[in-house]
Structure 1
Amino acid sequence: MLDMLMSPLFQIVALGVAGIVVWHLQGRGRPTARLLVQIAFFAAMTAILIGSGISPFKFEPLREGGGMLIAAKTLWWVHLAWAAIGFVRIYIVLDGRPVEARLLQDLIIAVVYLGVTLSVLAFVFDFAIGTLVATSGVIAIILGLALQSTLNDLFSGLALTLGRPFGIGDWIILTDGTEGRIVENTWRSTHILTPANNIVVLPNSYLAKIGLTNISRPDETHQVILPFRVRPTHPPSFVVETLRQATIGANNIVHDPAPVVALKGVDAFAIDVELQFRVRRPSDRIPARNELIDLVYRQCATTGISLALPAASSIFVEHLHTGRSGPATLKELLQANPIFESLNQDDLKTLEACGKLEHYQPGDMLLNGTDSMPKLMIVRSGAAAVHSDRTEAIRLAPGAVFGWIDGLDDTARYEALTNLEAYEVDGPTFVSMLQDRPEMQNGLMRHLTSLTGNSLATSSQPGDGKHGPGLFSTVHDLLKR
């Protein structure tokens, strides 16, 4: 019994079995500890093999105790495979992309296991590996012909993994028009989540052949081009400056780098212009496009620029106007804002008569915390920025309603970014209209407080016909002169 315990082969087998037990006890959540255990047991088994003069790379004829020799060599090769696989997994984790490298990891693990299996057959059981490889080659050819499409997807997936044209979470656009975010990449296919919230499954072989644009690299800012055609009633330089000022008031685009207004051509019927701007992420394209179309329309209406007919139109009407003939009035600005929808025509005419148009230069302060008198103003043309806590909170475009309220953030500043025109509404006249309209009072208060991201401590329930004294007095103080 003592002789068996002192036998090197028994010690190797015991270490191999103990290594397997400890390896399983470590659990999948501790890959580094698993690797250290594998290395320790494998090093001990290797030291005993070398000290005993046994070579795992050479077949030795079976003798007495041959079963123990087979078990010792087999366990040594198994621990060699596990140690190699542990190193591969640790490298992938340290490389910071365990999901993207899953295909490469699976391939390396398969190669390691195949190599260990052939080594055990050759050096432990003395199989003729050459004959086995030749036979398996014929079988592989038959299987390759039968699984040509599957193997094509498999190796295409491997090529995509090694080339890394995209990663999990990237937003891509294919030349066939498909676009979306990569959510999964398997051996056979790649799964794309489209803007319509559908999953498109594309074979890797198809994805490897088609051209794609990765708009998540180097970051997700994405350029959008918005074309316009305007009538050539003004110089092109005036059109460029008008559209540039329209972009300044946009909140859904990136302002650094600044948007570009590009002239594409001019003829007797139209000036072709493109607005080139960036959005922060692909999902912002539609909101940014909608916002800019509205801002450009308002800016063109204010400056008297008319939109032109499409280039493909076969009918041209002389002196046809597709836009406004002049800038918006206070009445029109009030009618366009849902806050004031309860005002009738007489009220609108009264407010228009008492409204005062103010002019500001770029950099002028419209409102700040030092103002002693509250104000209510509506932008007619130009753009302004609201600064709160030394950061830009929001930008104001034509039609925006803003003001200063006692009790809000006193550090908020309203600064003109361009030449700006704004109507200043007469406070007492407007307060008299608010007395019987609690819904309009609440809507106005919510809008004004949202500009700086603050909220009032006192509010009322719309539609109950009552409002707290704090709310009405605040509105009254806001608008009284």
Structure 2
Amino acid sequence: MTSRLGILRFFWPIFFFSASVAIYIFHEAAFQQFAPGGDPGAVRQLSTAAAYYSGAWLLARLLGAALRRTGNGRRKVPKLLRELITAALFLAATVATVAMLLGQSAGGALASSGLIIAILGFAIRNVLADVLSGIALGLEAPFRIGDWIEIDGTIRGRVIEIGWRTTRLQTRNDTYMILPNSQISRQRMTNYSAPRKHYRASLEIVLGHDIPVSQGKELLAAAAASTEIIMKSPEPDVRALSYDTHGVTFAVRYWVPSFVDDIDCRDVMLVAIDAAIRERGLPPPYSRVKLVAPVPSRSTFEEFLDTGNS
């Protein structure tokens, strides 16, 4: 069934393109045979225009099929890119047809409509900004369908659709978000699915001064390695970040298989670290500040009293 539909997708473009080319090639001979003295100009123009549009149709189908084969199952080629290629091909066919019909006056007709285009562009500048941003996103492909992305540190979701004006995301809470493409292009974006699905995350843990730094690193590393959901290779590691009055701050770094598992990985890491700290019997970190003030000598104190009495 799938192969049959694939053949039908190419049948009609090939049919119309072949028919229009055949009419363009043999229309003069047909006029001489069946309508001598007739003017074949109109047929020539119609067949040429039909060849332009059917050729654009066929080429769009071929390039679309090639792009679908290029995109693998995990990161699909955006639909917007295929639509952009189709629009560009049909625009080229339209320009070629207008140039053929108007001849030398095509440039003048386009120039005279410049003011109207400028007025319309100002009226729909916001929509135009979204469309141009969508075109840029389609060409650069910073993310694809199925990728998990974060926008400006606040919006997170899986890309469902990339349209001309908007991009649609599905959050981890199964809510549906629609964002203008111009907003996405202006803000900082993080793609958690590229170039690979897995990535490294980290937790900051503060331990008190009761345990040496080296033993604290061993304790946290063993707790991280005991979890099941995080990746075993590369192995998790621990780094000391700062030594402060309230304790030593460590960074526990681990690898997440995919963004879908991010919350679960963080949960099991915190549970494992808490269990290891309680098993070791370590007290919670607290601020240790020792106030040191000079104590006046007895002679100085007596002089102060004598001065007051006098």
TM-score (norm 1): 0.52
Deviations for 1:267-310, whole angstroms, at most 9, x for unmatched residues?
3431101111121111212211111111111112222333314x
- Does the 8 Å CA contact 2:121/2:128 hold for their aligned counterparts? yes
User: Aligned equivalents of 1:167 and 1:98: distance in 2?
Assistant: 6
Pairwise CA RMSD: 2.9
Aligned residue for 2:276?
Answer: 299
In 1: Cα distance, 2:168 partner to 2:250 partner: 38
Which whole-Å CA distance do the structure 1 matches of 2:5 and 2:220 have between them?
A: 63
Structure 2: which amino acid aligns with 1:283?
A: V
Q: Residues of 2 paired with 1:295 and 1:121: CA distance?
A: 76
- Per-residue CA deviations over 1:17-39 (Å, capped at 9, x if unaligned) read xxxxxxxxx98862333344345
Looking at structure 2, the residues matched to 210 and 268 of structure 1 have their Cα atoms a distance apart, in angstroms, of 38
| Greater C-alpha radius of gyration | 1
Counterpart residue number, 1:283 = 260
1:262 aligns with 2:203: no
Q: Are 2:207 and 2:247, in contact at CA under 8 Å, matched by a contact in 1?
A: yes
For 2:222, the equivalent position in structure 1 comes to: 245
Tell me the residue number matched to 1:111: 91
After superposition, the Cα gap between the structure-2 partners of 1:251 and 1:51, relative to the gap in structure 1 and judged at 3 Å, is farther
Q: Tell me, what secondary structure is at the counterpart of 2:283?
A: coil
Higher relative contact order at CA 8 Å, sep ≥6: structure 1 or structure 2? 2
Distance 2:65 2:131 in 1: 23
**1:191 and 1:202 in contact (8 A); partners too:** yes
CA distance in 2, matches of 1:277, 1:307: 24
CA displacement, residues 14-64 of structure 1 (integer Å, 9 cap, x when unaligned): xxxxxxxxxxxx988623333443453344334336989xxxxxxxxxx95
Choose between structure 1 and 2: higher helix proportion.
2
Contact 1:259 1:275 (C-alpha < 8 Å) held by counterparts: yes
**2:12 counterpart letter in structure 1:** R
1:65 is aligned to 38
TM-score normalised by L of structure 2: 0.79
Q: Secondary structure at the match of 2:79?
A: coil
1:72-96, Cα deviation, whole Å (9 max, x unpaired): 4212321222112311221122122
Give yes or no for contact 1:103–1:161 (8 Å, CA) kept in 2. Answer: no
1:74 to 46, 50, 70: 46
* SS of equivalent to 1:190: strand
Aligned to 2:154: 177
Deviation at 1:317, TM superposition (A): 9.9
- The 1:44–1:154 alpha-carbon spacing in structure 2 relative to 1, beyond 3 Å, is same
**2:190 maps to 1:213:** yes
Identity of aligned residues (%): 23
For the 8 Å contact 1:168–1:185, the answer to whether it is kept is: yes
1:30 aligns with 2:3: no
256 and 51 in structure 1: CA distance in 2 versus 1, 3 angstrom threshold: farther
Does the CA contact (< 8 Å) of 2:78 and 2:162 recur in 1? no
- Structure 2 residue matching 1:286: 3-state secondary structure: helix
Q: Deviations over 1:395-446 (max 9, x none)?
A: xxxxxxxxxxxxxxxxxxxxxxxxxxxxxxxxxxxxxxxxxxxxxxxxxxxx
Give the secondary-structure state (helix, strand or coil) at the position aligned to 2:158: strand
Partner of 2:303: none
Q: 5 Å matches for 1:155-174?
A: 155-174=132-151
Which residue pairs with 1:230 in the alignment? 207
Tell me the distance in 1 between the aligned counterparts of 2:254 and 2:5.
Answer: 51
Over 3 Å counting, the alpha-carbon distance change for 1:303 and 1:235 in structure 2 is same
Partner of 2:101: 121
Structure 1 portions without partners, runs of 5+: 1-25, 53-62, 310-314, 319-481
Is 1:88 the counterpart of 2:60 in the alignment?
Answer: yes
Residue of structure 2 equivalent to 1:132: 109
Alignment check: 8 A CA contact 2:243 2:249 kept: yes
Matched, 1:45 2:17: no
Distance in 2 between the 1:291 and 1:143 partners?
A: 56
Q: Which runs of 5+ in 2 are unaligned?
A: 31-35, 69-76, 291-310
| In 1: Cα distance, 2:108 partner to 2:37 partner | 29
CA distance in 2, matches of 1:283, 1:109: 39
Aligned match of 2:82 in 82, 86, 102?
A: 102
2:152/2:188 contact within 8 Å kept: yes
Kindly provide the amino acid, as one letter, of the partner of residue 85 in structure 1. W
Report Cα offsets for 1:118-163 as digits up to 9, x if no partner: 135225xxx8323321222221111111111111111111111111
Gap change, CA 1:142 and 1:102, over 3 Å in 2:
same
Does the CA-based 8 Å contact 1:172-1:215 persist in structure 2?
Answer: yes
Secondary structure of the residue aligned to 2:159 is: strand
Structure 1: distance between partners of 2:139 and 2:56 = 20
Q: Which amino acid aligns with 1:99?
A: K
The total of aligned residue pairs comes to 276
